[in-house]
Structure 1
Amino acid sequence: MDIPGTLREPADLEKYRGDWSGLKGGLPAVVYRPASTAEVAAIVRSCRAQGARITVQGGLTGLAGGAAPDAGDVVISLERLNQVEDFDDIGGTITVQAGVPLAKLAEIVEARDWYFPLDIGARGSCQIGGNVSTNAGGNRVLRYGPMRDLVLGMEVVLADGTVMPMLNRVVKNNTGPDLKHLFIGTEGTFGIVTRVVLRLFPRPAVRRSALCAVASFAQVAQLLKQARGRLPGLSSFEVMWQEYLVAAARALGRAVPLGGGHPIYVLVEAEGSTAPQMQEIFEGFLGEMLEEGVVADVIVAQTQEQAQSLWDFRDAIGELLKQLSPFVSFDVGIPLRVTADYVETARARLQAAFPQASHLFFGHLGDGNLHIVSGPHASEADQLAVDEIVYGLVAEVGGSISAEHGIGRIKKPFLHLSRSETELEVMRALKRTLDAGDALNAGRIL
């Protein structure tokens, strides 16, 4: 069919074979780049008539291989579906098309003195539709929740090309099952998200950041509990084990902060007003943690530039992945009470099996989300062995094999470790109901 921006030449199609996970799919038959919901629906109806399978793509920043097509798939890239359609300055909502990049959205709303709190490392490339389909989390879930908590309404194209409008703009809407949740976190397998209504918040006047050196994970847990109860505006609680911080500093070409000799580091952020007493409360809290021995040392950023310098270490994962490639990446969910044991055991087993590789641990520990990067691992057999070590331990502690990246293709063989057979069968039944022909993102999750 004739859609402006369609790509058919093999050289043009190459870019659309995979995502940041490194998984390379087959060459698609065609890449459609629709600029409206009507075009998306027309493409889906045409594919249905021809029996063609569809791979839906956003910013290609996924780490689970969900955007990698099978050979001959029809790819629908939402990169041209990138307009802001409505901004409600009174109610604090914004309606955007699914292809709007996260960083662009943040820039637009902050220019009008509002705030969209989702923040992830791929902010410059990832798209809102992809954030919805994977239920993205990020650095500020502790205060605002994941994407699921930020979506008020949406519009979806179903597998038969039907457009389902659910563009709700109010927080409280108790009119039966909230159907939008069928499409949040289901990775495009139930329908194609085309438009989204998002919640906005008043823009914080300032963010206060501090890097704390901590002697043990028991003290990390104590610091988190105290910060939740006593630190107004707590928005982020990012934990980096020593090996990660040292590697990040090396990748950035900087000195390791606080000497680099402490076992664990915590990046604490609080949002609020510019009132002097708020800075006093922030610094006073950290001072008390030092006096009580919960924190061994601390750097309190005095300017936004200094704060960004501290956050650079946490955001250095992009540079690290390049150095560790071919790598294996994880975003597991671990109950806080067993996190210390999990990290110690996982590190020991990975180091024993692959002493030549680096094994780095960090994460959004305020919500139990632990990230692990291990590499380089040249062979697929080694990568699978790393998967089995990490996910096997997740099953032992009753955790989740994916906290925010999704299942995609890469984690599919391990989903049974986190979901019961009854849950999996309900998922299959929903898929059969919404996409009986298995046309949308086939082979993902299930």
Structure 2
Amino acid sequence: MHTLTQLRNGELKGAATLKLSEDLSQFPEEIFELADTLETLDLSGTGLSELPKDFGRLKKLKVFFCSDNNFTYLPGELGDCLTLDIVGFKSNKIETIFPKSINCNLRWLILTNNKIRELPSTIGGCTRMQKLMLAGNRLTDLPETLQNCRNLRLLRISANRLNGLPDWLLSMPKLSWLAFSGNPFVRSPKIEALDLISWTDLELKHILGQGASGIIYQVRRNSRVLAEQLAVKVFKGEVTSDGLPEDEMNTCITAGLHPGLVKLVGQISNHPENKKGLVMELIPSNFHNLGAPPTLESCTKDVFPEGLKLTSEKALKIASTIASVAAQLHNKKIMHGDLYAHNILIDNDCNTLFSDFGAATIYENPLLEKIEVSAFGYLLADLIGLCRVDDNNLTVEKLRKLQKKCQQELPNLRPRFESIAMELG
């Protein structure tokens, strides 16, 4: 974090990264003094509503975050920065996107939680685009030119006003992570009743984790003779980059029981702020995330601890469990939407749990399963990369052949999860 005083005093001369968080009435002109070196600029939460006309002077700028501000339009000046790679204007008041605002060099664009009704056709010029995040807007359709973005891997369009998915979207060659819950065309699942557990019967111990959709606590349930150690996820109730928390809760319940899923115990009731939540079995402390979420550099690719290696048999065990879980989900017409190593928990023996339904969606079109199969192909590539060089070549080759099947450019040629699970045993 930096301050405006540091900037004005010249203390940040030569900086490649600048992050300001104090209130700004206008864009600080002193930022231009860093034009020869500045690559990452974060002005989120500063109250800005416009950019200067000569914003393009930041000729080396690659990453620009301007979320939680007061913009009512996506600035056209963004198109003047030829090196821009990532742009984030989450949670502004954007209603309009000018054609010039779409910088064709972009690889990652975040416009979550605005008031956007229409995307300009110029979005089709973003041939490098891998990640496009549009959840929580007012879109009624997607421009046909978006199909020209053939490198698009992740698309978030939940909580909009879409009446359907265009046919061309389902044939995009690299699309692998798609979330579209909370739109008019998505049916609401018939939810099985879970036991109601009163908030007053839960004793909060400590926070286990926190994400965009909610907070997970370790709790003790005191309503029985023997107190139980459990976990509870309390949903925040706000739209996230993936979609609506209510959809996450509904798909999590619909998923049902599976050894590779965390077992649900019930739903909370009588929360003092009327929040919703799920009570689940406590994941043993020896479980940990297989990978970490993508970085700004890796974009759609998970990252892994340096030196992490798996035997080919352990890699196969992880892949087999996830394929089995995915087969059950898709038999229930659930697309997880975020099939990634960072949402997979393993222990030292590679017993495996699949988590985080924040991007999950109930669907109708069977072709949607083939999109998630591509995501599984990326997971296989990660697992193959983690295998020891001197390990069982036959098992690795088996995984490699399956990966190629899963990532064929024509989605309808990819296998279903049911056959993948059978092949992996």
Higher helix share: 1
TM-score, structure 1 normalization: 0.29
The answer to which structure, 1 or 2, has the higher relative contact order (CA under 8 A, 6+ apart) is 1
User: What TM-score comes out, normalization by structure 2 length?
Assistant: 0.30
